[in-house]
Amino acid sequence: MSGLAQVFVVLTLVLSLLFFGTSATLFLTRQNLKEELDSVSKKYEAVEKTLNGAINSQKGALTRAHSALDIVRNSESQLSVAKHSLLSANTLEKTRAEKAESSRDTAVKNATAVHNELAKKEERIQALEQHAADATQRRDEALASAKNANEERNRARRDLSQVNKELHELKVESVDLLSKYEAQELRLNALIARLGPDAPVPGRVQSAIDARVDAVDLELSAVVLSVGRDQDVKVGDEFTVHRGEEFVGKVKVTRLFRDLSGARVVFEKDGAKIRVGDQATTRL
């Protein structure tokens, strides 16, 4: 029995005692007991009716309370399940958060490593750009030098072509001079043989010019001397060729250039040949 029902039972007993006490009092103090009993009975009935209504109301309230308690219990069970689900979800989310934090830390480390690598690559790129700029400058300088070298080579080729042309003309002229001076060479050779290499030759203008034999053409019997127009050499000048103290021969200038001259061999000592490096002079 619930506590509320017990309260109602106790209240009923008290009212019963009150009724009996009142009845006894009325019975002893008043003459019209029946009327009083009727009045008390009516009051008792009214009180009982009120109590029964209250009891029924309390029973309804108790029933509703039990229903609410069942609902609360069901809600509590649902809340427990929801709490368990929330705890599981919280654990899962915590695990995910930890994984996400670990992934974030890994990503930060990777990003830092990538940043450092990019910084190194940027430094390398700057160094390569500087090397490229230096290489470009060296290339431009090399191209300029190559251009100058090509121009110099072209000038040298032109000069060489001109020299070859003049050499060819000299060779042709030397051949012509050979035919013209054959008789004179024979006479001069015979004269030098009788008088010796230091004997003066009539009609020849002596000049103090020293030279060196720079080239020899055995086929044309021609030589190239290291002196020319700038050293006051004239066409027809004769040079005595010697090697140290040894007399080698004589040559005669047939072609003039600025610092060079072409000469025809007019005499060579028996057993001797004019060679490159021999000394030549106009001194007798």
Domain positions in the chain? 1-146, 196-281
Full 3-state SS string of the chain? CCHHHHHHHHHHHHHHHHHHHHHHHHHHHCCCHHHHHHHHHHHHHHHHHHHHHHHHHHHHHHHHHHHHHHHHHHHHHHHHHHHHHHHHHHHHHHHHHHHHHHHHHHHHHHHHHHHHHHHHHHHHHHHHHHHHHHHHHHHHHHHHHHHHHHHHHHHHHHHHHHHHHHHHHHHHHHHHHHHHHHHHHHHHHHHHHHHCCCCCCCCCCCCCCEEEEEEEECCCCEEEECCCHHHCCCCCCEEEEEECCEEEEEEEEEEECCCCEEEEEEEECCCCCCCCCCEEECCC
pLDDT for residue 227:
96
Residues of the chain with pLDDT under 70: 1-2, 4, 23-34, 36-37, 65, 72, 79, 86, 97, 100, 107, 111, 114, 118, 125, 128, 132, 135, 142, 146, 149, 156, 159-161, 163-164, 166-168, 170-207, 284
Q: Quick: pLDDT tens for 4-40.
A: 677 777 788 778 777 777 766 665 665 566 676 677 7
pLDDT for residue 33:
60
pLDDT for residue 197:
47
CATH class for the region spanning 196-281: mainly beta
pLDDT for residue 5:
73
pTM across the whole model: 0.32
pLDDT for residue 85:
79
